[in-house]
Structure 1
Amino acid sequence: MHDTIRHQLEQDGYTILEDFLRPAECDEMLEAGRELTKSIPSKEDRVIFSTINSAEKPHLKEDYFLNSNDNISYFFEDAAVKPDGELTVDPSISLNKVGHALHLQHPIFRCYTYSERVKTVCRELGFQEPAVVQSMYIYKNPGIGGEVTPHQDATYLYTEPVPPIGFWIALEDATVQNGCLWMVRGSHTSGVHRRLIRNPDKTSPETLIYDRPAPVYPQSCFTPIPVSRGTCVLIHGNVVHKSAPNKSEKSRHAYTFHVIEKKNNKFSEDNWLQEGEKAPFVNIYTTPQMI
């Protein structure tokens, strides 16, 4: 197992761990995700998350986004919110994601994030002092779930010399039809192509900026990664990946979090996300599962 996980991650930039969660565990997390939709912000406070419709990415200009590092924040689908903040769909399917500190601020997500199976994988990957830096519940709701454009996780969570690793857990079957992940196998060996950084120009209205234009990746480079519920996809921080919009009638809920190595490794001060008072970067091996 040890050699298989590390070898495939180093070779392809991702590896697939089937049956990472049991069906009943997926159901528990799905129910927790549904419960979150019952506490959405009022229309005056609804923030959209979109990797397509930007007007150069309005969510990046929001203090709400920057301040989501240590709490549970709500981000809506672009198509779900009218200009006046009213919803175009039922609240239960209006969200794009909830993040970024579910791993410490929500008892159920904390339980699974700091489970023994996660600690075991971290040991098998050779982490000495692994820490979770962010977590997200991603809805990808039927008919409205937005596209995630090609990117590397290290664009947003840059560490050196050891890149972050994403744990992406399918809580429902992820298919080509409902927006599964697509990977550019081996692309993690080509370095970090682009970074989102804190704007050094403090007089600018843009708090966050990209350091270079978005690369263009041919569709022919991508391989679809359909997986069954309960599967965990480990994602190398430098591998290029994306997901298509969900035009099907089936949702594709997932829970994801990112782990960094703290020992002899630098988490960039330019990253949008930094340690928060209520969500410090604590060692996974010494963190209990429950609050």
Structure 2
Amino acid sequence: MVPRESLAEDCILYVGNSMDMLTEEDAKKYQEEGYLVLQGFLDPEECDVLRERMSEIVERMDVPEHCRTQFSTNQEEQLKNQGSTDYFITSGDKVRFFFEKGVFDKKGDFTVARECSLNKIGHALHANEPLYKNVTHSQKVQNVAKKLGLMCPVILQSMYIFKQPGIGGEVTPHQDATFLYTEPLGKVMGLWIALEDVTLQNGCLWFIPGSHKNGITRRMVRTPKGSFPLIDFVGREQNYDDKLFIPAPVKKGGLVLIHGEVVHRSAQNLSDHSRHVYTFHLMESQDTQWSPENWLQPTQDLPFPPLYT
């Protein structure tokens, strides 16, 4: 458990109410293109409080030797390490640390400052960290979900993504439904909040508009108990024409809505500016079946919590 004795932890992060944040035109654009950028979703000060709390978490993290997991955005490469895969697939109700490649030496010691070592932290900040829980369940988020017609949305997972300056890894073209599969499809949505300016230089998202209407061709699934690897891929990712991708830069505090089937990617961060993001996924649970083969499964300690409170 991450210690919580901090000034930031005593703060109440207020995320205001705005029914006009998402207009009918915005909702239509999201349905047509599969993604939507909403500037000014959080105030800069709200972003700063979230970043301050994350700095405290990173400063105090105590990661066991066997958990010093280098997170690879090449999923097939990640599957080769059984220890790291187990650490990953059992993180759904915890706060765990996933590192960039090359940040540990052969002895397991950091080769860079610890605050510059992380790829992401996940996957239950929304349950274990009050400030992030407050943002996730905020009235603003609830209003967005209601405007998009979600009746019984639940929270699947949450992540803090660092995209470290100079070493923040490329994320290759993918669809979130590959990893968060439902029947029927079209029931998962990502909410991606920029805690710093996100630019072409530091690794903004790129989308293929309308690609959420073509289904998926690949799934990541749990293998039968006792098998290795613990998870595997079924099917193959399509090859995408690079000319179809449209960049989606966003200012600090902006929100990007991501349909579960829209194809998106981000480049390596070769700039000297980080790209901190808080992101989480919702699922419309009404008339929806969550696949028992997904890597992420609800637990007794943390069933998927309802968004609406």
Tell me, yes or no, whether TM beats 0.5: yes
Task: Give yes or no for contact 1:51–1:57 (8 Å, CA) kept in 2.
Answer: no
Task: Give yes or no for contact 2:175–2:262 (8 Å, CA) kept in 1.
Answer: yes
Which of the residues 74, 90, 94 maps onto 1:67?
A: 90
Aligned partners of 2:75, 2:230: CA distance in 1, in Å?
18
Task: Give yes or no for contact 2:79–2:85 (8 Å, CA) kept in 1.
Answer: no
Aligned partners of 1:137, 1:150: CA distance in 2, in Å?
20
Aligned to 2:26: 5
Which of the residues 46, 59, 69 maps onto 1:25?
A: 46
Q: How many residues align?
A: 285
Aligned to 2:263: 240
SS of equivalent residue, structure 2 residue 97: strand
1:127 paired to 2:181:
no
The CA deviation at 1:103 is: 0.4
Q: How does 1:270-285 map to 2 (within 5 A)?
A: 270-285=293-308
1:192-248 CA distance string (max 9 Å, x none):
121101113x44311111001232222112111111000000000000001111110
Which of the residues 115, 118, 138 maps onto 1:95?
A: 118
Aligned partners of 1:53, 1:154: CA distance in 2, in Å?
14
Task: Give yes or no for contact 1:53–1:78 (8 Å, CA) kept in 2.
Answer: no
The CA deviation at 1:56 is: 5.0
Q: What is the percent sequence identity of the aligned residues?
A: 45
Which of the residues 230, 233, 237 maps onto 1:210?
A: 233
Aligned partners of 1:62, 1:234: CA distance in 2, in Å?
28
Q: What TM-score does the superposition give when structure 2 sets the normalisation length?
A: 0.88
Task: Give yes or no for contact 1:43–1:84 (8 Å, CA) kept in 2.
Answer: no
1:31-50 CA distance string (max 9 Å, x none):
12212211331444201111
Aligned to 1:268: 291
- Which sits farther off after the overlay, 153-162 or 232-241? 153-162
Residue 48 of structure 1 aligns with an amino acid whose one-letter code is: Q
Task: Give yes or no for contact 1:154–1:163 (8 Å, CA) kept in 2.
Answer: no
The CA deviation at 1:19 is: 0.4
Aligned partners of 1:251, 1:273: CA distance in 2, in Å?
28
- Which sits farther off after the overlay, 268-277 or 134-143? 268-277
Residue 185 of structure 1 aligns with an amino acid whose one-letter code is: P
Task: Give yes or no for contact 2:122–2:160 (8 Å, CA) kept in 1.
Answer: yes
1:60-104 CA distance string (max 9 Å, x none):
762111110101010000122234322221001100000000001
Which of the residues 195, 202, 221 maps onto 1:171?
A: 195
SS of equivalent residue, structure 1 residue 195: strand
1:247-277 CA distance string (max 9 Å, x none):
1000000000000011111111111001023
Aligned partners of 1:209, 1:50: CA distance in 2, in Å?
15
Q: What TM-score does the superposition give when structure 1 sets the normalisation length?
A: 0.93
RMSD of aligned C-alpha atoms?
A: 1.6
Task: Give yes or no for contact 2:100–2:119 (8 Å, CA) kept in 1.
Answer: yes
Task: Give yes or no for contact 1:44–1:85 (8 Å, CA) kept in 2.
Answer: no
Task: Give yes or no for contact 2:80–2:229 (8 Å, CA) kept in 1.
Answer: no
The CA deviation at 1:145 is: 0.8
Aligned to 1:47: 69
Mark the runs of 5 or more structure 1 residues left unpaired by the alignment: 287-291
Task: Give yes or no for contact 1:47–1:74 (8 Å, CA) kept in 2.
Answer: yes
Aligned partners of 1:120, 1:134: CA distance in 2, in Å?
19
1:127-156 CA distance string (max 9 Å, x none):
000111100000011111111111100000
Q: Which runs of 4+ in 1 moved over 6 A?
A: none
Task: Give yes or no for contact 1:5–1:125 (8 Å, CA) kept in 2.
Answer: no
